[in-house]
A and B are shown apart, each in its own frame.
Chain A
Amino acid sequence: MDKQKTKQIREEFKQLESPNARLIDKQMEISSQISRYLQQQGLTQKELAQEADIGESQLSEIMRGEGNPTLKTLVKLEQALDEDIIVTPSFHEKHMSQKGFASFSTKREAKFQARETVVSVVSCGGSWQIKRSANPAKNEISEVNVGQIDEENLVPSYS
């Protein structure tokens, strides 16, 4: 075997970059996901195609990781499988929220939320809690009972 030539051929192959890399990733992910559900539910591709009312050859193409199915076709498959094939950020948001994690509608909001600090103020006989945000327009001041103040955040004054 010509080891040097072999090495060169394989290196050249490794260096190739597909302009469709992201599309191929998605195609393979979708195929992989459907395959998992088929196994879990003991269904064949033929049965799924019939249930989803799509062509067998179309499903076969999707399963080979070569298809470019429409959203409508994917929804038909999701309905037939009673599972999500494509998940959007809102899917994760819903699941995180069910697990008790806060949900944020935008990255920007999440960023502000992360920087938000609660500053408790006790002065002149009154007690306030200031929710200080990185976005000053969103600062909130509310009067609270002393008993409600988190002592770790107590500060003598706030200006």
Chain B
Amino acid sequence: MNRSFELVEFFSGRKATFYTVLFDGEELTEGDKFLNNEQVKQNRAFKDLKHYFFNMLEKFGAQQQFFKHEGRQHDMVRAYYVRRENLRWYCVYWSREMVIFGNGGVKKVAKTQDDEHLKESEYAMRWVNQCIEQAFDEGRFGVDYDGKITGVTTFNAEEF
């Protein structure tokens, strides 16, 4: 999944700004793919997830406890997902004001690793995380107090 990508604004509210990822050559961003996934749309928790999502944007901010850590402890600092029942929406958690949403889906298996689509969604966000961490360390990426990205939003795979 080492592909070039661009971070684009997804939704913004009074308390946070949410971004999503557009991989090179794709027509839709990862966040929009999730929202356009028929299985996701038909899931009974989808409307609840939407309310939860907009509550974070407008009322509560992206408080860390609303997100669940994915994977082993300490292996990835910012790989999380938002869940509602068996819906999983992967993201890179940056702060209460900024989160980058990726793709996700309906979890039907005991282990996420057994679902190719979910595994891909998770690993895509790990890649995004790796790139922005590096750009941050190099001083090329930052986030202001309103959750707006300052610095680079385009990431070339060759550089990371």
B60 partner, pick from A10, A19, A32, A63, beta carbons under 8 A: A32
Stretch in A20-28, A115-123, A141-149 touching the partner: A20-28
A35 close to chain B: CB less than 8 A: yes
Q: Is the CB of B50 within 8 A of A13?
A: yes
Across the interface, name the chain B residue whose C-beta is closest to A1.
Answer: B22
Q: Is the CB of B35 within 8 A of A18?
A: no
Q: Chain B: how many interface residues by the 8 Å CB criterion?
A: 28
A66 close to chain B: CB less than 8 A: yes
The interface centre, meaning the residue of B11, B22, B52 with most chain A CB atoms within 10 A of its CB, is B52
Asked if A1 meets B28 with Cβ closer than 8 Å, knowing A10-B11, A31-B66, A32-B60, the reply is yes
| Chain A interface, >50% SS class | helix
Asked if A64 meets B48 with Cβ closer than 8 Å, knowing A6-B28, A32-B60, A32-B63, the reply is no
A137 close to chain B: CB less than 8 A: no
Asked if A20 meets B36 with Cβ closer than 8 Å, knowing A1-B28, A5-B27, A28-B66, the reply is no
B68 close to chain A: CB less than 8 A: yes
Q: In the bound complex, how far is the Cα of B65 from the Cα of A113, in angstroms?
A: 44
Q: In the bound complex, how far is the Cα of B60 from the Cα of A66, in angstroms?
A: 15
Residue numbers of A with Cβ under 8 A of B are 1-2, 5-6, 9-10, 12-14, 16-21, 24-25, 28, 31-32, 35, 45, 63-66
B47 partner, pick from A5, A19, A63, beta carbons under 8 A: A19
Q: Is the CB of A64 within 8 A of B28?
A: no
Q: Is the CB of A28 within 8 A of B60?
A: yes
B46 partner, pick from A5, A16, A24, beta carbons under 8 A: A16
Q: Is the CB of B55 within 8 A of A9?
A: no
With both chains docked as a complex, state the minimum distance between the C-beta of A28 and any C-beta of chain B, in angstroms: 5
| B residues in contact with A10, CB < 8 Å | 10-11, 32, 35
Across the interface, name the chain A residue whose C-beta is closest to B50.
Answer: A16
B32 partner, pick from A6, A20, A32, beta carbons under 8 A: A6
Q: In the bound complex, how far is the Cα of B48 from the Cα of A13, in angstroms?
A: 11
B51 close to chain A: CB less than 8 A: yes
With both chains docked as a complex, state the minimum distance between the C-beta of B63 and any C-beta of chain A, in angstroms: 6
Q: Is the CB of B68 within 8 A of A6?
A: no
Q: Is the CB of B83 within 8 A of A17?
A: no
Asked if A20 meets B51 with Cβ closer than 8 Å, knowing A10-B35, A66-B84, the reply is yes
With both chains docked as a complex, state the minimum distance between the C-beta of B62 and any C-beta of chain A, in angstroms: 11
A13 partner, pick from B35, B52, B83, beta carbons under 8 A: B35
